[in-house]
Structure 1
Amino acid sequence: MVIEKPKVGLMIPTLNAGKCFETMLSCIENQKMANLRKIIIDSESDDNTRMIAKKHGFEVYNINRNQFTHGLVRRQAVEILSDCDFIYFMTQDAYVHELAFSNLLHFMILHPRMMVAYGRQVVDVPGENYFDQKDREFNYPEESRVKAKKDIPRLGIKTVFSSDTFSIYRREYLENVGCFPKDVRFAEDMYIAARAINSDYEVGYCADAVVTHTNGLNFREQFNRYYNMGKFHAQNKWIQKSFGSNEKDGITLVLTQTRELLHSKKLFKIPELYIRSFIKYSGYRIGKL
């Protein structure tokens, strides 16, 4: 289906977005996207998040902080933006590069069976956080990719890797698979990507749609993140049953980074790599239990 003049919306879930939020929204304004309907759904922020959003032309909606789930807030966004053909989703700490919005939309329109496409993530200061940078390079390579059911034997669980840090959805197809479930608290992007592939839609990765996004997680935050990922897979066993486990990708990442550290003679970083990997794996396994 060809849409000559698509209606496009953007949603950002917010909670105390902080002093950098204005810069983030200014980056969006610089995209020069005509007729972009922009909303935030705010989780009872205590700072001036809502005021800043209104200043930059956003509609402001609210969600009870205790009721928030990543699935629920995005489902509400789809209902609010029901007049849109395509919907961007972003997080409040991602900074779009030049032409990121138009490149992602163009990539989606080029592939009429694509339900969701996500952009490339880079860290803010390369080298400042070595492992954040290498994780990004592993998950977000320089070449774009279109993933479909036929790719499962080759890509495994990577077939349904996605990211709502910066993504775009074709609303019609999203609703065809039931939209975001309200009770999905984490990894809603992978959940929908899995639904898309099982429904013979495509999942896209656009390397030309770039955002700066650095997690900078400490060990406790790393543990919690992977605990939630393990819990997600325990609650949605059908995903790994259909596409394979995450463990193989984790091992590949550790081996790749070990070789790079040896090659670059950064041997002092190898212990930290193994500590980080142990924390991730422990959190993931405990979460699955």
Structure 2
Amino acid sequence: MGETELDVIIPVYRPDERFFQLLAQLACQSIPLHRIILMNTERAYWDAAGAEGRLETLGISERCEIHHLSKAEFDHGGTRNTGVLFSETPYFVMMTQDAVPCDDKLLERLLFPLVNGKAEMSYGRQVASPDADILEKFTRRYNYGDQSFLKTEADKEKLGIKTYFASNVCAAYVRARFDALGGFPPRAIFNEDMIYAARLLQSGGTLAYCADARVYHSHCYTPAQQFHRNFDLAVSQAEHPEIFADLKSEAEGIRMVRRTARFLKRQGEGREIPRLFALSAAKYFGYALGKRYRLLPKWLRARCTMNRSYWEKCA
């Protein structure tokens, strides 16, 4: 693929051991890494983690560029846009601080369809961590299969809302196309990656899923956390009817619950089905409320969201 350089942009909040594992893996990638641009929320947490010393220990301090901001200034779209402004390479990669590359070929494989003109955005495969529970492992396999593919706007009739599915947990972008489309929405509670992907496809672009570009990334959410997450997801969709008005998520969610329940039965893990239903109910009610967030008083929105500062900035 030649000497293609790129920057990696990572929003950071309360850096932990997984974050430093991520940086260590980025330092060992098979293609040149120009800079790691870190958009850190709250300098006090950065200092408390001894982050500067850890960067020195990893031998990457000269390649890391840290920009500090307050929690009130953070925005899922705006903060990432600012990170891109600090980048100078023709391609860049967005990651989250809890995604750890599985090998040294992550960046090379993410960039392959972009450098070869097959797509203008790509996203990688999320693999559940070895210590993840059985529900999370199945969810990752369900959403991130082992076959790579390309998506265009023509796939919407077949794939529905999954046509626009992409994730900044691990995604690469062509800078020129990103700039031409105006980047991420400058104000976003969540889902900035999918909103950008939709605009890319609607403008005639192509989105690549790279199954061989793998990161370890998984969560063990409680029903309450799933409720908050899906509330914010639905708000992001309600705020962009030009993309999501004719696309429904409910059918895909029901399909996933059914397949997960069948999987648990086949594995002899029927005792997990009540937890599956509890998590699914929390997702549904969070999503349903988020879709109707305009009908809710501001105090109730603050109770439902994962991102209270987003509502504090609302007029």
TM-score range, shorter chain: over 0.9
User: Which residue is equivalent to 1:14?
Assistant: 12
Distance in 1 of aligned mates of 2:200 and 2:122: 11
User: Which residue is equivalent to 1:144?
Assistant: 148
- Does the 8 A contact of 2:238 with 2:244 survive in 1? no
Question: What SS is found at the alignment partner of 2:150?
Answer: strand
Question: What SS is found at the alignment partner of 2:182?
Answer: coil
Displacement after TM superposition at 1:64 (Å): 2.1
User: Which residue is equivalent to 2:295?
Assistant: none
- Does the 8 A contact of 2:166 with 2:193 survive in 1? yes
**Is there any run of 5+ residues in structure 2 with no aligned partner, and where?**
293-315
| 288 and 103 in structure 1: CA distance in 2 versus 1, 3 angstrom threshold | same
User: Which residue is equivalent to 1:120?
Assistant: 125
Displacement after TM superposition at 1:4 (Å): 6.5
Matched, 1:100 2:94: no
Displacement after TM superposition at 1:103 (Å): 1.1
Code of the aligned partner of 2:269: K
Displacement after TM superposition at 1:6 (Å): 3.5
Matched, 1:225 2:226: no
Matched, 1:166 2:164: no
- Does the 8 A contact of 1:22 with 1:52 survive in 2? no
Q: How does 1:192-211 map to 2 (within 5 A)?
A: 192-211=196-215
User: Which residue is equivalent to 1:72?
Assistant: 78
User: Which residue is equivalent to 2:301?
Assistant: none
Q: How does 1:262-273 map to 2 (within 5 A)?
A: 262-273=265-276
- Does the 8 A contact of 1:88 with 1:166 survive in 2? yes
Distance in 2 of aligned mates of 1:273 and 1:53: 39
- Does the 8 A contact of 1:196 with 1:202 survive in 2? yes
- Please, what is the CA RMSD of the aligned residues? 1.7
- Does the 8 A contact of 2:119 with 2:205 survive in 1? yes
User: Which residue is equivalent to 1:185?
Assistant: 189
Code of the aligned partner of 1:85: P
Q: Residue deviations 1:148-183, cap 9 Å, x none?
A: 011111111111000000110111111111111211
Code of the aligned partner of 1:265: G
Displacement after TM superposition at 1:54 (Å): 4.5
Question: What SS is found at the alignment partner of 2:77?
Answer: helix
Distance in 2 of aligned mates of 1:100 and 1:6: 14
| 94 and 183 in structure 1: CA distance in 2 versus 1, 3 angstrom threshold | same
Distance in 1 of aligned mates of 2:33 and 2:139: 35
- Which contiguous aligned blocks of 4+ residues in structure 1 show a shift greater than 6 angstroms? none
| 191 and 48 in structure 1: CA distance in 2 versus 1, 3 angstrom threshold | same
Distance in 1 of aligned mates of 2:123 and 2:209: 5
More divergent stretch after superposition (43-52 vs 116-125)? 43-52
- TM (norm. structure 1) is 0.93
Q: How does 1:226-245 map to 2 (within 5 A)?
A: 226-241=230-245, 244-245=247-248
Distance in 1 of aligned mates of 2:49 and 2:30: 25
Distance in 1 of aligned mates of 2:182 and 2:166: 18
| 253 and 16 in structure 1: CA distance in 2 versus 1, 3 angstrom threshold | same
Q: Residue deviations 1:90-139, cap 9 Å, x none?
A: 111110011111111113223x252211100011116x411111111111
What percent of counterpart residues are identical? Answer: 28
| 15 and 53 in structure 1: CA distance in 2 versus 1, 3 angstrom threshold | farther
